[in-house]
Amino acid sequence: MISDDIKINEETSMAGGHLPVMLEEAVGLLNVRPNHLYIDATAGAGGHLKRICQKAGSGKGIIAMDQDSLALHKLSVNSGPLANEIKFVHSNFANLKTALSDLDINTVDGGIIADLGISSNQLDDSQRGFSFQRQGPLDMRMNTNNRITAADLVNDLNETELANIIYKYGEERSSRAIAKAIIKNRPFANTSELANVVEKVVRYRGHKSKLHPATRTFQALRIAVNNELENLEIFLEQANSILTPGARLVIITFHSLEDRIVKRFFTHMASPCICPPRQPICTCNKKRELLIITPKPLIAGEQEILTNIRSRSAKLRAVEKLP
Ligand SMILES: C[S@@+](CC[C@H](N)C(=O)[O-])C[C@H]1O[C@@H](n2cnc3c(N)ncnc32)[C@H](O)[C@@H]1O
C-alpha cells in the first residue's frame, strides 16, 4: 500500500527529494549494455534514469518518458550535460508504441523500466492534490492536460459508483460508509476536507491499521483519476511487443493491484501452453515470449526501508524477451 509519510534523506536524484527505490537492483536487472536502447517509461525525478545513463555511456540513446510535463521539464533542466544523451518524451506509457514511432523507433534492444505510481515530488506538492496530509485542490492528475480531477469524481459520481471505486482500487472495507459520508458532505473543495470526512468514518468503524485512515480512499481516487490499472495493462502488452530477444522489462509496483497485473502478465507470457491441464495434446499454439528473471519479486532491504519509507511496499519484477 502506498504510504504518505515519505522520509527524505540527504541522497537526492536529478530533480529534488525523490529517492529512487531499489536503484541498484532495478538497474542491475535491466542489464544495461552500451550501444543499446533503453527507455525509462516513468522517468520522474530521474534517479533510475541517471544510473542507466552512467552504465550505458553514450551510444544508441536513452528515452525518458513521463506523463507529467512539469516533472519532465524539471528533469531535463536538472540533468545537466546528461540531457544531451537523453530524449525527453511527454507521454502516457499506454501510448508507448505511438510515442516511439513518432521518433522512428519500432523496437527496443536494451530494455524498458517502469517505476509505477507517483514521485515524492508530486506527493509533496500540495497544489497537485495527491496527499491527504497537505491541503490543496482535489486534483490528483499526473497529466494536468487530462480533464477529470478527483474533485469531479468526488462531487459528481453517485454513491454506488464512488463506493465501487473506493472498494476496487483502495481495497477499503468501509467503502460504502465512506461513499455515503462523501455524498452527505459534498461538495468538497480540497484534500483536507475530504481526508477529515473519510478519517471520521474509518475511525468510527474501528480503524486498527497503522496506515492513515484516508490512505486507501486517496489511493483509490488517484488510480481512478489516472486510469492507472488499465494503462498498465496496455503498457505491458506494448512493451512486450517491441522488445527484441535479450531485451529486458523491469517493473516496480507499490500495491497489490498493480503487482497482480504484472505477475499475471509475466506468467502468461512466460508460459509455453495455455491448454486446460487435463488436455492430453497441446492445441493452443502458444509461444513462450518471456523468461521470468525474478521467480519471486524482489523487495527492499531493511536499510533502504529505514531511509526511504516508500520502498517498504515496493515489489520488483523483471523479464527477458525470448527469441
Ligand atoms: C515513482 S515515480 C518514478 C521515479 C523515478 N524512477 C526516479 O527514480 O526518480 C513515477 C513517475 O511515473 C509517472 N507516471 C505514472 N504513471 C505513468 C504513465 N501511465 N505514463 C507515464 N508516466 C507515468 C509519474 O508522473 C511519476 O513522475
Among protein residues, the one with the nearest Cα to ligand 1's atom 9 is 45
Q: Is 250 helix (H, G, I), strand (E, B) or coil?
A: strand
Asked if 73 and 91 sit in the same domain, the reply is: yes
Cβ of 310 closer than 6 Å to ligand 1, yes or no, is no
pLDDT for 170: 96
Asked if 114 and 237 sit in the same domain, the reply is: yes
Query: Measured in angstroms, how far is the CA atom of residue 186 from the centroid of ligand 1?
Result: 31
Question: Residue 297's closest CA among 251, 232, 261, 248?
Answer: 251
Among protein residues, the one with the nearest Cα to ligand 1's atom 27 is 44
pTM of the model: 0.94
* Alpha helix stretches (DSSP H) within the chain: 23-30, 47-56, 69-78, 96-101, 120-124, 150-156, 159-170, 175-185, 191-204, 215-225, 228-242, 256-270, 302-307
Residue 11 has pLDDT above 60, yes or no: no
Residue 1 has pLDDT above 60, yes or no: no
Question: Residue 141's closest CA among 158, 121, 120, 122?
Answer: 122
All three cell numbers of 219? 489511493
Q: 56: domain range?
A: 23-121+228-321
The verdict on residue 139 lying in a domain is: no
Asked if 191 and 248 sit in the same domain, the reply is: no
**Contact between residue 26 and residue 42 where contact means Cβ atoms under 8 Å apart:** no
CATH number of the domain that 109 lies in? 3.40.50.150
Cβ of 20 closer than 6 Å to ligand 1, yes or no, is yes
Query: Measured in angstroms, how far is the CA atom of residue 184 from the centroid of ligand 1?
Result: 34
Query: Measured in angstroms, how far is the CA atom of residue 92 from the centroid of ligand 1?
Result: 9
pLDDT for 57: 82
CATH number of the domain that 185 lies in? 1.10.150.170
Provide the domain count of the chain: 2
Asked if 160 and 241 sit in the same domain, the reply is: no
The verdict on residue 251 lying in a domain is: yes
pLDDT, tens digit (0-9, with 9 covering 90-100), for 123-149:
999 999 999 999 999 999 999 999 999
Question: Residue 177's closest CA among 198, 155, 153, 150?
Answer: 198
Region 90-112: mean pLDDT is 98
Decide which of 187, 203, 225 is a domain's last residue.
Answer: 225
* pLDDT confidence bin for 3, thresholds 50/70/90: very low
Cβ of 18 closer than 6 Å to ligand 1, yes or no, is yes
Among protein residues, the one with the nearest Cα to ligand 1's atom 12 is 42
Residue 14 has pLDDT above 90, yes or no: no
Which ligand 1 atom is the nearest neighbour of the CA of 18?
Answer: 9
Decide which of 225, 240, 273 is a domain's last residue.
Answer: 225
Residue 206 has pLDDT above 80, yes or no: no
Residue 93 has pLDDT above 80, yes or no: yes
